[in-house]
C-alpha cells in the first residue's frame, strides 16, 4: 500500500508516529514560509504542514504551487496542532502531519467546479464531470449508504435461506407494459434480444424447478419517459417464494424494513406495518401510494352537494360524479386569496380539475367563502360536520370525476403538507396497500390491461368474476409504500396454465400469440407448478428514501438524464458502418 493511514484516521493518540498519506488537495494556505494543505480522501480531511525544519525551500515551493484537486503523497510525523489552532469540527482536528516528503502523483487541471464549493453548479455540469461530483462528501455518503442497504438486504435473505440466482440479461421481447430496450443479434440476423424489464418469468420458472426461495439484486431496463425518481436502467431486489400467500411475503418484507431501518438509520419500526386496501387508499387519500406522515384525509360530501342550489356541486352530483374535500387544520389565516388562486391553478393545470372551492371556518362555526351565499345555513353546517371543521380551518373541495378528485386532492394534500411542514423530513413511514384491481381499461384501445402484470393471481373469492365481470376482480397484489412513494410491488402468481391462458385472452391475446410469446411459461405450468409469489423492491428508490433525498440520480453513481443520456460518456452514440453491416442493419431518417 502506498499509504499507512487514511485522511480520516489519525487522532491525538497517533502523535509522534511516522505516517504516509495519499489524497486530493482540498485547499492550501501559504503562511509565510510554510504551506498548509487540507488533504482529502473519502474517509475525511487531515491538515498537513510543509515547512521548516522538516521541509526545504524546494519542497515548500512545490507544495505552494500544486493545484487544488491534485493527487499527492506525503510522508511525515503526526504532531499536535498549536494551541488555539485545533478544529473541533474535524475528527482529525487535534493533529497535523509535519511533512518530510512531498510528491505529486497526479496534477489537476483547473476543474470546472470543486467538491467543496458552497454553491453547486447545474446538474448537467455535475453529470458531465461526474468524477468530480462523486468527490463531494454528500455523494460519497449516499453511495456508501447504498452499499450498506444492499449488504443489509443480502445478509437478511441469506439468513432466511434464500438462494441467489443470476438470471439472463439477454432475453425474449414480450411487449407488455413499458417499451423494451432491444439488442440486435449478429448470429440470428433480423432477430432481437430484449434487455429485461424484470426477471419475472425466469424467477417463476425457478419456482417450477424447485428453488423455493430465490433472491437477486437485478439490473432492469425500461425504455420509458423519465422523471425525478425513474431511470432507464435501475436496480431492484427481486424475490420469489413457493408455497406462500400474501401474508407470508408481506411479513418477510416487514422484517427487512425493520432490520434496514435499525441497522442503517438507527430507527425502530413497529411491526407489523399497517395495511389498507386499494379501495381504502383511494377513498381516504386519493392515491395508491399514500403518504401517511400527515393527515389531510379526503372526505366525500357528494350527499350534501346533491341537495344544494350551488350549480357546480349540484350538477356534479346529478351527473354521477363526486364532490370531495380535505380539511386543513388552522390554515384559514395562512392562505391569502392570491395563494388560493395559485392552488386553484395548480389543480387545474396539473390534474385537469375544473376549479377549487373553499370555505373558512369562522369563530362562530359558520363557513365563509365567496360562494357561501349559494348554500343554506343548514347545508353549510352539514358540510362542516362531515369535514370535522373547527374554527380557523380551511376546507377545500373538488367537484369532478372520481379520477380527477383522487389525483387533484392527492396532489393538493402533498403540496399543502410540504408548505405547512406537517411532517419531519427525518420521519420514515412505511405501510402496505393491498387488493389492487386486476385490470383497468386502456383509454386509447378500450381493452383491458393488467394493473400489475398478466401473471398476477386473482383473490380466490373473485375468481368467478374472471369470465363475466373482470373489472370486479381484485388481485393478490401488494405494494410497499414509504413516505408516499412506491418502494416495492409484488403479487401471488397464477400457477396453472388454464387460468393464465384465460387472463391472456382477457388482455386481447389470442391463443397463437400467447403461445408464441409465453409458450415456455404455459408449458412449465403444466409440469407441476407450486403456488408461488414474490416482490421486487426498488433499490435506487429505497436508498433515495432512506437518505432523505428527492432525486434518484443522487444515489446512482453514473445516472442518465431525463432524456436518457449519459453526459459524461455521451451515450447513446452513433456506431460505425462496419458494426451496422455486421448486424445487417441500417439507419433511416424518420419525419416527425
pLDDT tens-digit map of 378-418:
999 999 999 999 999 999 999 999 999 999 999 999 999 99
User: Quick check: do 124-243+534-591 and 268-287+423-529 share a fold?
Assistant: yes
- In the prediction, which pLDDT does 445 show? 76
Does 324 show up as a binding residue in the annotation?
A: no
For the domain made up of 268-287+423-529, the CATH class stated in words is alpha beta
Q: pLDDT category, 550, cuts 50, 70, 90?
A: confident
What pLDDT does 311 receive?
Answer: 95
pLDDT value at residue 444: 77
The continuous run of DSSP H or E covering 123 comes out as helix 123-128
| Residue 166 annotated as part of some ligand binding site | no
In terms of DSSP H, where are the helices of 452-496? 465-468
Average pLDDT of span 426-436? 96
Planar angle of CA 202, 192, 169, nearest 5 degrees:
35
Considering only CA atoms, which of 146, 147, 153 is closest in space to residue 257? 153
Q: Show me where the domains of the chain are located.
A: 12-106, 124-243+534-591, 268-287+423-529, 294-419
pLDDT digits 0-9 by tens, 556-591: 999 999 899 999 999 999 999 999 999 999 888 877
**268 is an annotated ligand-binding site residue:** no
Query: Rounded mean pLDDT of 439-443?
Result: 84
Question: Is 186 marked as binding a ligand?
Answer: no
Q: What is the mean pLDDT of residues 345-350?
A: 97
Confirm or deny that 231 is annotated as ligand binding: yes
12-106 CATH fold: OB fold (Dihydrolipoamide Acetyltransferase, E2P) (2.40.50)
Question: Is 493 flagged in the annotation as binding?
Answer: yes
69 among the known binding-site residues? no
The model's pLDDT over 300-343, given as tens digits with 9 standing for 90+, comes to 999 999 999 999 999 999 999 999 999 999 999 999 999 999 99
What's the pTM value of the predicted model, to 2 decimals? 0.93
> Cell for 303?
350527499
Is residue 540 a known part of a binding site?
A: yes
Mean pLDDT for the stretch of residues 187-207: 96
For the record, the C-alpha cell of 510 comes out as 389470442
Report the percentage of the chain scoring pLDDT > 90: 91
36-48 burial string, b = 16+ CB within 10 Å, else e?
A: bbbbbbbebbbbb
Residue 441 pLDDT level (bands cut at 50, 70, 90):
confident
CA distance 528 to 256: 31
Mean pLDDT to the nearest integer, 237-253:
98
**Mean pLDDT for the chain?**
95
Q: Residue range 64-76: average pLDDT?
A: 97
pLDDT of 228 higher than 70:
no
- The CA-atom distances, in angstroms, between 319 and each of 107, 314, 316, 322 are 73, 9, 5, 9
**What's the confidence (pLDDT) of residue 447?**
84
Q: What is the mean pLDDT of residues 276-296?
A: 98
Q: Which residues, in sequence order, are bridge partners of residue 448?
A: 441
Mean pLDDT of 19-31: 96
For 294-419, the fitting CATH number among 3.30.160.40, 1.10.150.120, 3.30.1360.30, 2.40.70.10 is 3.30.1360.30
DSSP 8-state symbol, 32:
S
Cβ–Cβ under 8 Å, residues 358 and 340: yes
- Residue 71: band (very low, low, confident or very high) from pLDDT cuts 50, 70, 90: very high
Sign of the four-CA dihedral 191, 195, 196, 202: positive
Contacts of 419 (CB under 8 A, 6+ apart): none
CATH topology of domain 124-243+534-591: BirA Bifunctional Protein; domain 2 (3.30.930)
Res. 226 pLDDT band, cuts 50 70 90? low
Query: What is the per-residue pLDDT across 115-153, written as a single tens digit (0 to 9) for each?
Result: 999 999 999 999 999 999 999 999 999 999 999 999 999
Shortest CA distance to 171 belongs to which of 520, 588, 566? 520
176 is in an annotated binding site: yes
Q: Does the annotation flag 541 for ligand binding?
A: yes
Amino acid at each position: 500500500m502506498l499509504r499507512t493511514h487514511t485522511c480520516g484516521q489519525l487522532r491525538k493518540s497517533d502523535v509522534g508516529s511516522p505516517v504516509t498519506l495519499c489524497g486530493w488537495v482540498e485547499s492550501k494556505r501559504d503562511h509565510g514560509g510554510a504551506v498548509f494543505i487540507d488533504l482529502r480522501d473519502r474517509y475525511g480531511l487531515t491538515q498537513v504542514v510543509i515547512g521548516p525544519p522538516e521541509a526545504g525551500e524546494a519542497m515548500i515551493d512545490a507544495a505552494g504551487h500544486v493545484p487544488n484537486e491534485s493527487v499527492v503523497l506525503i510522508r511525515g510525523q503526526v504532531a499536535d496542532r498549536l494551541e488555539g489552532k485545533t478544529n473541533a469540527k474535524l475528527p482529525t482536528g487535534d493533529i497535523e502531519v509535519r511533512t518530510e516528503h512531498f510528491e505529486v502523483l497526479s496534477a489537476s487541471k483547473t476543474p470546472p467546479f470543486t467538491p467543496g464549493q458552497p454553491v453547486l453548479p447545474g446538474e448537467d455540469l455535475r453529470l458531465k464531470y461526474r468524477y468530480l461530483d462523486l468527490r463531494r462528501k454528500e455523494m460519497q455518503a449516499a453511495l456508501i449508504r447504498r452499499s450498506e442497504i444492499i449488504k443489509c438486504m443480502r445478509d437478511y435473505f441469506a439468513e432466511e435461506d434464500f438462494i441467489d440466482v443470476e438470471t439472463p440479461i439477454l432475453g425474449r421481447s414480450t411487449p407488455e407494459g413499458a417499451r423494451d430496450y432491444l439488442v440486435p443479434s449478429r448470429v440470428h440476423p433480423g432477430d432481437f434480444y430484449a434487455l429485461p424489464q424484470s426477471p419475472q418469468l425466469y424467477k417463476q420458472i425457478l419456482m417450477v424447478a424447485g428453488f423455493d426461495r430465490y433472491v437477486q439484486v437485478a439490473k432492469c431496463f425500461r425504455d420509458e419517459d423519465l422523471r425525478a425518481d425513474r431511470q432507464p436502467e435501475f436496480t431492484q431486489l427481486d424475490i420469489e417464494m413457493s408455497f406462500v400467500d400474501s401474508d407470508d411475503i408481506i411479513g418477510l418484507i416487514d422484517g427487512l424494513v425493520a432490520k434496514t431501518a435499525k441497522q442503517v438509520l438507527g430507527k425502530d419500526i413497529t411491526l407489523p406495518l399497517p395495511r389498507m386496501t386499494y379501495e381504502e387508499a383511494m377513498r381516504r387519500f386519493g392515491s395508491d401510494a399514500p403518504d401517511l406522515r400527515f393527515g389531510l384525509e379526503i372526505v366525500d360530501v357528494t350527499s350534501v352537494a346533491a341537495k344544494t342550489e350551488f350549480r357546480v356541486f349540484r350538477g356534479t352530483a346529478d351527473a354521477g360524479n363526486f364532490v370531495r374535500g380535505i380539511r386543513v387544520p388552522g390554515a384559514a389565516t395562512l392562505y391569502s386569496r392570491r395563494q388560493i388562486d395559485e392552488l386553484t391553478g395548480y389543480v387545474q393545470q396539473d390534474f385537469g380539475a375544473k376549479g377549487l372551492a373553499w370555505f373558512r371556518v369562522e369563530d362562530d362555526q359558520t363557513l365563509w367563502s365567496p360562494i357561501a351565499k349559494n348554500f343554506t345555513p343548514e347545508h353549510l353546517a352539514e358540510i362542516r360536520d362531515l369535514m370535522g371543521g373547527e374554527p380557523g380551518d380551511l376546507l377545500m373541495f373538488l367537484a369532478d370525476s372520481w379520477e380527477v378528485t383522487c389525483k387533484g386532492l392527492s396532489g393538493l394534500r402533498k403540496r399543502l403538507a410540504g408548505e405547512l411542514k406537517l411532517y419531519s423530513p427525518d420521519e420514515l413511514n412505511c405501510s402496505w396497500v393491498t387488493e389492487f384491481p386486476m385490470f383497468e381499461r386502456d383509454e386509447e384501445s378500450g381493452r383491458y390491461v393488467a394493473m400489475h402484470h398478466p401473471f398476477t393471481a386473482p383473490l380466490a373469492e373473485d375468481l368467478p368474476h374472471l369470465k363475466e365481470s373482470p373489472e370486479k376482480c381484485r388481485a393478490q397484489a401488494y405494494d410497499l409504500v414509504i413516505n408516499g412513494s412506491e418502494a416495492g410491488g409484488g403479487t401471488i402468481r397464477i400457477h396453472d396454465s388454464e387460468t393464465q391462458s384465460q387472463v391472456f385472452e382477457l388482455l386481447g391475446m389470442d391463443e397463437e400469440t400467447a403461445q408464441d410469446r409465453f409458450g415456455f411459461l404455459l408449458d412449465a405450468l403444466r409440469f407441476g407448478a407450486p403456488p408461488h409469489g414474490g416482490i421486487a423492491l426498488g433499490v435506487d428508490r429505497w436508498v433515495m428514501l432512506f437518505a432523505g433525498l428527492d432525486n434518484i440520480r443522487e444515489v446512482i453513481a453514473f445516472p442518465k438524464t431525463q432524456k436518457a443520456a449519459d453526459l459524461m460518456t455521451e451515450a447513446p452514440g452513433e456506431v460505425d458502418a462496419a458494426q451496422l453491416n455486421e448486424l445487417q442493419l441500417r439507419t433511416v431518417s424518420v419525419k416527425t
